[in-house]
Chain A
Amino acid sequence: MVEAKRALPWLADSLRPISSTAAGSLPKQVKIVEVGPRDGLQNEKNIVPTQVKISLINMLSETGLSVIEATSFVSPKWVPQMADHTEVLQGIQKFPGISYPVLTPNLKGFQAAVAAGAKEVSIFGAASELFTKKNINCSIEESLQRFGEVMHAAGAASIPVRGYVSCVLGCPYEGKIAPAKVAEVSKKMYSMGCYEISLGDTIGVGTPGSMKEMLSAVMKEVPVGALAVHCHDTYGQALANTLVALQMGVSVVDSSVAGLGGCPYAQGASGNVATEDLVYMLHGLGIHTGVDLQKLMEAGVFICKALNRRTSSKVVQASSRL
């Protein structure tokens, strides 16, 4: 890692705040939601041993990240990678000040999650009827009803719920998605009680143009302080899209260490944006994240070794000796 330190001297020097201009004023700090252990691993072909998952999350806990999505309480029949959800949640070190949300697609999953010690959960909606049908075999309306049950139970247990909206910039089945539809679904989930709505460019087809259009519509219904963006880098647009979101006031960004997780809709293509590359950009903009990039890179190197795959992070590719 000495090599890495020498290769990245600009990180320390570039931590000067930049003034607001035509390029838009940026938030002074950004919260990163690390989705590698769940969204990332779920979309990796190789099944990862439970102990490796636990080690990864523990390493991530030491980087300064404040939110690490740990696992998913979904049926192992559908998502074998997450079959060990209870073991993972119970096995990780839970650091004070760090949240470890877990996915709960329905009431059953929610109850299992709480029994396993979960203190925060997430629910996954979509802005596309066809995507919802293909994914969870029901309509958007029906999915929201299911979520309603989770919200009710979560409310009773004082457990915060984060809402995701998939396909916000395009759908593999429907094609174009109307910004108004994204706004409608986001509003419903926010009104149900989700404290934050993460807007996901699920297939990575979005560009700064469509991002701006979509956010403009959503921000009419949900306060920007409750919004997050979850950009996929399948077409290389993730950081540019994230930058535009920041310029519009969004200050929560989802990403995945080492860019874990391919795209199930485009074979061989990448998926999640790499947390290392995101942090590099944010620090270069003088935006505070609280994350130690070196430690983050180490966690990424660890999981890539365990998965026997190359990192998708360009920062890591540029910094390590190959």
Chain B
Amino acid sequence: MGTVPSALKHCLSYQHLLKEQLWIGEPAAPPPALHPGQEFQISGLPDYVKIVEVGPRDGLQNEKVTVPTDIKIELINRLSKAGLSVIEATSFVSSKWVPQMADHTEVMRRIERHPGVQYPVLTPNLQGFHSAIAAGATEVSVFGAASESFNKMNINCSIEESIEKFEEVTKSARNMNIPVRGYVSCALGCPYEGNIVPAKVAEVSKQLYSMGCYEISLGDTIGVGTPGSMKRMLEAVMKEIPVSALAVHCHDTYGQALANILTAIQMGVGVVDSAVAGLGGCPYAKGATGNVATEDVLYMLNGLGINTGVNLYKVMEAGNFICTALNKKTNSKVAQASFNV
């Protein structure tokens, strides 16, 4: 390839192409009716994918810098305006363990609550659940794992003991009509145990689903999964849980997230977790990335003609905001490529 003319940056066609690809300025449209000849529809894929934005919780929790409460609230408010329907706001866990989430009550109380947007919070136990409700939470999440060692190291109990704790939460939640989302960590590999058997993931998922979780988010916690292991794991889990109740939470630590998400979508999964700007590193691999960037997921879904209701440009702006506040470079490749043009 030859030399590049310096006029390139003002190349209107590239801007135009980006606008089309990024769907900049497009209003959030309802899912289009399927008709033959619809240019980008790939058969077998869902028409609509729900994005669960975990940046403010999972993302910030894994960032080294402690973020001021005002910044957290501003981030969530900006995300609320981007068309996202679920934004994980904070975590009602002891501030001794997770200092980043110490301001959970204040965050919960002060964020703008947009109609049609859910703001789930993590509640590791009954105590956290009650605090969350007192602070105004209307949806909660519980975090299980498919690995005994991971559970032991993380929350100092066995899988079975953790299930008992969650049952207390789901029971109280049911009494109060509060929906509960269940997470299963280490679905494709564990930093302590290595390989995780798909049947184990299916077993833990089933337990969480049976106790009343409306959705199970399967997390590739250390990002080691590939389309091969994703497929095998989902096949096992889908024998126990309807696919409509499943979500995938892929980490991009080994660059596999989008390929893994695509595989999951091809198998019928219609809910994807991601974090704006790819916030949150990996506590198990120093310097490595963690969550997949919402912007990059949206770019792929837009290109597949899948509706999400989310405005990619507004998410990019929210990402730009938080990265400036954190004084860090975005992990989103779409943002990296777009903001410099």
Interface residues of A in 18-37 (CB under 8 A from B): 18, 21-24
With A134-B5, A210-B303: A281-B227 Cβ-Cβ less than 8 Å: yes
Nearest CB on B from A176, distance (A): 7
Q: Which of B1, B194, B254, B332 contacts A318 (CB 8 A)?
A: B254
CA separation between A145 and B231, bound complex, in Å?
A: 47
The verdict on B333 contacting chain A, using a C-beta distance below 8 Å, is: yes
Question: Are B336 and A268 within 8 A (Cβ)?
Answer: yes
Question: Are A22 and B44 within 8 A (Cβ)?
Answer: yes
- 6 A–B contact pairs at CB < 8 A? A9-B195, A207-B303, A242-B259, A268-B336, A270-B333, A317-B289
With A22-B44, A240-B259, A266-B340: A285-B293 Cβ-Cβ less than 8 Å: no
Interface residues of B in 245-298 (CB under 8 A from A): 252-256, 258-259, 261-263, 266-267, 282, 285-289, 293, 296
Best-buried of B14, B16, B194, B302 by chain A (most CB within 10 Å) = B14
Contacts of B232 in A (CB 8 A): 18
Nearest CB on A from B275, distance (A): 14
Contacts of B267 in A (CB 8 A): 22-23
Question: Are B262 and A240 within 8 A (Cβ)?
Answer: yes
Question: Are A13 and B195 within 8 A (Cβ)?
Answer: yes
Interface residues of A in 171-211 (CB under 8 A from B): 171-176, 203-210
Contacts of A23 in B (CB 8 A): 227, 231, 263, 266-267
CA separation between A176 and B303, bound complex, in Å?
A: 13
Nearest CB on A from B298, distance (A): 11
Nearest CB on A from B7, distance (A): 9
- By beta carbon, the residue of chain A nearest B189 is A10
Question: Are B288 and A78 within 8 A (Cβ)?
Answer: no
The verdict on B224 contacting chain A, using a C-beta distance below 8 Å, is: yes
Question: Are B288 and A314 within 8 A (Cβ)?
Answer: yes
- Known contacts A172-B11, A286-B228, then 4 further A-B pairs from the complex at CB < 8 Å, ordered by chain A residue: A172-B13, A207-B299, A264-B1, A317-B288
With A233-B333, A235-B337: A14-B255 Cβ-Cβ less than 8 Å: no
- On chain B, the number of residues with a Cβ less than 8 Å from chain A's Cβ atoms is 65
- By beta carbon, the residue of chain A nearest B286 is A322
CA separation between A270 and B286, bound complex, in Å?
A: 22
Q: What number of residue pairs across chains A and B have CB atoms under 8 A from each other?
A: 195
Question: Are B2 and A79 within 8 A (Cβ)?
Answer: yes
Interface residues of A in 192-241 (CB under 8 A from B): 203-210, 212-213, 233-237, 239-240
Question: Are B333 and A236 within 8 A (Cβ)?
Answer: yes
- By beta carbon, the residue of chain A nearest B4 is A264
With A14-B226, A239-B256: A204-B299 Cβ-Cβ less than 8 Å: no
Question: Are A243 and B1 within 8 A (Cβ)?
Answer: no
Question: Are B288 and A235 within 8 A (Cβ)?
Answer: no
Contacts of A98 in B (CB 8 A): none
B residues with a Cβ closer than 8 A to A are: 1-5, 8-9, 11, 13-14, 16-18, 20-21, 39-40, 42, 44, 189, 194-195, 223-229, 231-232, 252-256, 258-259, 261-263, 266-267, 282, 285-289, 293, 296, 299-300, 302-305, 332-334, 336-338, 340-341
Question: Are B262 and A175 within 8 A (Cβ)?
Answer: no
Contacts of A281 in B (CB 8 A): 226-227, 255-256, 259
Contacts of A319 in B (CB 8 A): 285
Contacts of B9 in A (CB 8 A): 267
Question: Are B337 and A263 within 8 A (Cβ)?
Answer: yes
Contacts of A315 in B (CB 8 A): 254-255
The verdict on A42 contacting chain B, using a C-beta distance below 8 Å, is: yes
Question: Are B285 and A135 within 8 A (Cβ)?
Answer: no
A residues with a Cβ closer than 8 A to B are: 7, 9-10, 13-14, 16, 18, 21-24, 42, 74, 78-79, 124, 130, 134-136, 166, 170-176, 203-210, 212-213, 233-237, 239-240, 242-244, 263-270, 274, 277, 280-281, 283-286, 313-315, 317-319, 321-322
Contacts of B2 in A (CB 8 A): 74, 78-79, 135-136
- By beta carbon, the residue of chain B nearest A9 is B194
Question: Are B289 and A314 within 8 A (Cβ)?
Answer: yes
CA separation between A78 and B5, bound complex, in Å?
A: 12
Question: Are B336 and A172 within 8 A (Cβ)?
Answer: no
Question: Are A285 and B228 within 8 A (Cβ)?
Answer: yes
Contacts of A124 in B (CB 8 A): 1
Nearest CB on B from A121, distance (A): 16
Question: Are B303 and A208 within 8 A (Cβ)?
Answer: yes
CA separation between A277 and B293, bound complex, in Å?
A: 17
Question: Are A243 and B4 within 8 A (Cβ)?
Answer: no
Question: Are A212 and B42 within 8 A (Cβ)?
Answer: yes
Nearest CB on B from A80, distance (A): 10
With A281-B256, A319-B285: A237-B303 Cβ-Cβ less than 8 Å: yes
- By beta carbon, the residue of chain A nearest B13 is A175
Best-buried of B225, B226, B263, B300 by chain A (most CB within 10 Å) = B226
Q: Which of B228, B253, B258 contacts A240 (CB 8 A)?
A: B258
Question: Are A285 and B337 within 8 A (Cβ)?
Answer: no
Nearest CB on A from B193, distance (A): 10
- By beta carbon, the residue of chain B nearest A135 is B2
- By beta carbon, the residue of chain B nearest A130 is B13
- By beta carbon, the residue of chain B nearest A285 is B228
Question: Are B231 and A207 within 8 A (Cβ)?
Answer: no
Question: Are B228 and A14 within 8 A (Cβ)?
Answer: yes
Nearest CB on B from A172, distance (A): 5
- By beta carbon, the residue of chain A nearest B230 is A284
Closest 6 CB pairs of A and B: A207-B303, A284-B226, A236-B333, A314-B255, A277-B255, A175-B17
CA separation between A206 and B282, bound complex, in Å?
A: 28
Question: Are B227 and A170 within 8 A (Cβ)?
Answer: no
Question: Are A18 and B231 within 8 A (Cβ)?
Answer: yes
Nearest CB on A from B268, distance (A): 9
Question: Are B262 and A18 within 8 A (Cβ)?
Answer: no
Question: Are A265 and B13 within 8 A (Cβ)?
Answer: no
CA separation between A213 and B293, bound complex, in Å?
A: 25
Question: Are B228 and A317 within 8 A (Cβ)?
Answer: no
Question: Are B40 and A18 within 8 A (Cβ)?
Answer: no
Question: Are B333 and A269 within 8 A (Cβ)?
Answer: yes
Nearest CB on A from B283, distance (A): 12
- By beta carbon, the residue of chain A nearest B329 is A268
